[in-house]
Chains A and B, each alone.
Chain A
Amino acid sequence: MTDSKRHKTDLGSLYRRVSRSRVTALPQADVLMALAEGEHSEATERLLGEVTRSGMHADLLRFAQALAPESARLGVELEQALEVSPSGHARSQRHSARRAIPRRNWLRAVASVAAGLVVAVAVWSLQRTHNPSSAQGTATAGVSPASDDRIFAALDEGRAARQSAKPDQIFRTDFKGDRIFKPQSSGG
């Protein structure tokens, strides 16, 4: 490696080395964890500033990042170990009860939304049935007569009168007799 090549790669390591030797105030564990998780607050911004200047803070931040998955694994393993033990049964029940509460809340919310939708659709379809001209537009509203209300059509006296004007099909006067039992007039 030539001197110039070696020198070229030296600036980055020089920065890291010197910044590691800088003694600054140590970070708080909570803030370090928050920054490692990508949270943003005044405290994490301040710590990020320290990380850019101090190699020790940068090392601690990397360490905190690497620690998270191992800590999560231990948490799960401890939980499992305590739940399978006989005395851990009550704890398990408490946990499942605690988990059930948000699940119930979620179901309740979904049911409310569904009920609301059903009501909205019912109201909308009722409105359409009552006032179909609104669906056809104002242009046709004045031309075509509004059709009768289907639900309360039976109460429409005019329509009932119109219907009564027609002779009853069954008892009308031109009722033709039964052809099978009709008496044979030919006598033959």
Chain B
Amino acid sequence: MSLDPALRTRLHRLLADYGAKVRILIDGHGLGQYGIDPADIEQEVRIRLWKALERDRNAAFHTSFIQRVVLTTVIDAIRAANSRPSEPLPEVGFDAGMEFVEPTAGPERNASGLAEFDRIVACMAELPERRRKAVALHLQGFSLREIGTFSGTSEEAARKLLDRGLQMLRESLAGSGIVGDFDD
């Protein structure tokens, strides 16, 4: 493809800006903890998009195409990281609270965390499917609107499912001897 220098510079600039945003998003969503390097992803995305531009300049640069390039790059990188067992996963900054495995904690406490998680999962399994899904999405940090969108219901319906699900879960956990709450 023959591009005039001004256009070439402009396109490079656009892809560079976008790459920087992708990198910020990767960092912001904690994807680095899955063994990927945001800088590598940024570079790879820029290369793939530039090649696509060169291949077919007239191809429409739809949102979905650009998004697919980035997501494919990220997923491929995570897959590659997972296939390298000898390479340790980078350490992540744990937020406040008990973690699944705490290096400073003794084996008893770690085992306790595991046991608690297993009991949470077991109690959640008793919930009706729609409530369980709403509770699980809430625990994964999604908003009521997102829960509604993913579940194909309104925000209000999602709120009801979540309220009832959390109530049932609390009662079930209390019956299992776990006194705790979720950040609701």
Spell out A's residues near B (CB within 8 Å). 4, 6-21, 23, 26-30, 32-33, 35, 38, 40, 48-49, 51-53, 55-56, 58-60, 62-68, 70-72, 74-75, 77-79, 81-82, 85-87, 91, 94
CB distance from B68 to the nearest CB of A (A): 5
B170 to chain A, nearest CB (A): 10
Contact (Cβ within 8 A) B136 A52: yes
Chain A, residue nearest B133 (CB): A52
B171 → A minimal CB distance (Å): 14
* 25 chain-A/chain-B pairs, Cβ below 8 angstroms: A4-B179, A8-B180, A11-B180, A12-B184, A14-B116, A15-B120, A15-B139, A15-B140, A16-B141, A17-B94, A17-B99, A18-B114, A21-B100, A26-B79, A26-B82, A33-B68, A38-B150, A62-B142, A63-B25, A67-B25, A71-B66, A74-B66, A75-B65, A81-B11, A85-B7
* Chain B 75-102 per-residue mask, 1 if CB under 8 angstroms from chain A, else 0: 1001100100000000000111111110
Q: Is chain A's interface secondary structure helix, strand, loop, or mixed overall?
A: helix
Cβ distance B57 to chain A, nearest Cβ, rounded Å: 7
Give every chain A residue within 8 A of B114 (Cβ-Cβ): 18
Contact B29 A59 (CB under 8 A): yes
Bitwise, B1-43 to A at CB < 8 A (1) or not (0) is 0011001001100110010011001101111011000000000
A48 & B133 in contact (Cβ 8 Å cutoff): yes
A74 to chain B, nearest CB (A): 5
Among A6, A15, A55, find the residue whose CB has the most chain B CB atoms closer than 10 A: A15
Which of B14, B15, B58, B181 touches A9 (beta carbons < 8 Å)? B181
Contacts of B154 in A (CB 8 A): none
Residues of A within 8 A of B136 (CB): 52-53
**Among candidates A10, A21, A28, A49, residue contacting B97 with C-beta atoms closer than 8 Å:** A10
Chain B positions 104 through 142: 1 when the CB is less than 8 Å from some CB of chain A, otherwise 0: 000000000110110010000000000011001101111
User: In the complex, given contacts A6-B97, A40-B152, what are 13 additional A-B residue pairs having Cβ atoms less than 8 angstroms apart?
Assistant: A9-B97, A13-B95, A14-B97, A29-B67, A32-B71, A48-B151, A49-B133, A58-B137, A59-B29, A59-B34, A68-B63, A78-B14, A79-B60
Top 3 closest A-B pairs, CB basis? A52-B136, A29-B71, A58-B140
B82 and A30 contacting across the interface, CB-CB below 8 Å: no
A150 to B149 CA separation, bound complex (whole angstroms): 64
Q: Is the CB of B140 within 8 A of A7?
A: no
Known: A8-B181, A18-B117, A74-B18. A81 touches B100 (CB 8 A): no
> Which of A11, A28, A87 contacts B182, CB < 8 Å?
A11
- Is A63 touching B100 in the complex (CB atoms < 8 A)? no
**Which B residues are in CB contact (< 8 Å) with A51?**
137, 140, 150
User: Are A70 and B22 touching (Cβ within 8 A)?
Assistant: yes
Residues of B within 8 A of A17 (CB): 94, 99-100
Q: In the complex, which residues of chain A have a beta carbon less than 8 angstroms from the beta carbon of B146?
A: 65
Question: Does B167 make an interface contact (CB < 8 A)?
Answer: no
